[in-house]
Structure 1
Amino acid sequence: MTDRKFIRPALLALALSGCAGTGTDGYPSLAIRDVERVEGNFEPAPSQQLDVPPVEVDLSGGLDARLAALVAQAREAHATFAAAQPGAEKLVGAAAGADIGSDSWAAAQVALADLDSARSIAAIALGELDIIHAAASIQAEDASAIDVARGQVIDLISEEDSVLERLRSRVR
């Protein structure tokens, strides 16, 4: 009977001896190849100048007049929103807890849609103010008057958003 303690190390030594070689018998060299050598220059590529076209903005009548008109448009929309709000509050109150698709629920949805319409008119004014602000920023002009007008319209829209969120939470 052969001693197993002797066979395992002998087989291991025999298997590992196959890995040892002189490097000339087909195994690749670990030396750096020509392809792996670093060559060339390390200058950064020249950057291209961006050609930014001017943003066309209708400022007929001047910037101040356009800003005042957009703020007035948002205020009119907010007044329409405020006028429709009590009726919407009443319809939403009647629809609170009602089944989806019921007459009271449908009436509340229509009232909320009317409020959304008034809000969207103010949002259109805000969008135009954003375009004017972007044009002034791109052309490195003073945008402080635009920021004031935008702030006023954003305040009106934020107030409308909170009303809509509160009413929608009551009619699910």
Structure 2
Amino acid sequence: MIRAKARLLPLFLAAGLAACSSASQYPSLAYRPVERMTPVAPDPSDAPLPLPPASADLVSRIDGILASAKQADGTFATRRPIAERAVAAAGSARGSDAWLSAQVAVSALQASRDPALAALAELDTMYADARDAAPTQESPSAKSIDAARQQVQAQVNAQDEVVSALDARLGT
């Protein structure tokens, strides 16, 4: 059986190699006319077309998001003195009732930030979409979204500092 296969092996190899060759002409490796042409780059002095201004719908949507973030900041400002008093009353007795009450007050303070964080996330998404729509230059829509984004980001950063300071005083 093996000898029969060994006798047929040269035949199959010859047939396989014959299939790879052809008697036709191979293409020339000389330069083609298209390859001799110099590439034409766009003129850098051409100014890009101006992008349309931010739509009224976008401006009203941004205003609504900013109002939500401002309301969250007001709630945060209302709960901040309560949390600060609870943290001051807790002292350093970790695990005491006062310490647990302070933890609850700080948690309520952190929960009051949720609408501001949601507003920031929505503005981030809107900004990414606006930049995807006009990737080569910042559109007026993207600029107005970015301005609102920076405003809410500053508010969230200030809240982060307050919460971090309270957590540090509690030793958490």
TM-score tier, shorter chain, comes to 0.5 to 0.7
Structure 2 partner of 1:42: none
Q: Is it true that 1:68 corresponds to 2:67 in the alignment?
A: no
Structure 2 partner of 1:85: 80
- The Cα offsets for residues 66-109 of structure 1, whole Å up to 9 and x where unpaired, read as 1011011001000000000001000000112112x211111011
Runs of 4+ in 1 over 3 A off after TM superposition: none
Q: Work out the CA distance in 2 between the residues paired with 1:121 and 1:107.
A: 24
Which of the pair is proportionally richer in helix?
Answer: 2
Q: Work out the CA distance in 2 between the residues paired with 1:61 and 1:81.
A: 30
Structure 2 partner of 1:97: 92
Matched-pair identity in %: 42
Structure 2 partner of 1:116: 110
What is the TM-score of this pair, normalised by structure 1? 0.63
One-letter amino acid of the structure 2 residue matched with residue 92 of structure 1: V
Q: Work out the CA distance in 1 between the residues paired with 2:111 and 2:70.
A: 14
Q: Work out the CA distance in 1 between the residues paired with 2:66 and 2:151.
A: 7
Structure 2 partner of 1:106: 100
Structure 2 partner of 1:159: 158
Q: Work out the CA distance in 1 between the residues paired with 2:70 and 2:91.
A: 30
Q: Is it true that 1:125 corresponds to 2:119 in the alignment?
A: yes
Q: Work out the CA distance in 2 between the residues paired with 1:95 and 1:121.
A: 28
Structure 1 partner of 2:144: 145
Q: Report the aligned-residue RMSD.
A: 1.4
Structure 2 partner of 1:11: none
Q: Work out the CA distance in 2 between the residues paired with 1:153 and 1:96.
A: 33
- The Cα offsets for residues 108-154 of structure 1, whole Å up to 9 and x where unpaired, read as 11111111111121000000001100100111161110011001100
Unaligned runs of 5+ residues in structure 1 are 1-59
Q: Which of structures 1 and 2 has the bigger CA Rg?
A: 1
What is the TM-score of this pair, normalised by structure 2? 0.63
Q: Secondary structure at the match of 1:62?
A: helix
One-letter amino acid of the structure 2 residue matched with residue 153 of structure 1: V
- The Cα offsets for residues 9-53 of structure 1, whole Å up to 9 and x where unpaired, read as xxxxxxxxxxxxxxxxxxxxxxxxxxxxxxxxxxxxxxxxxxxxx
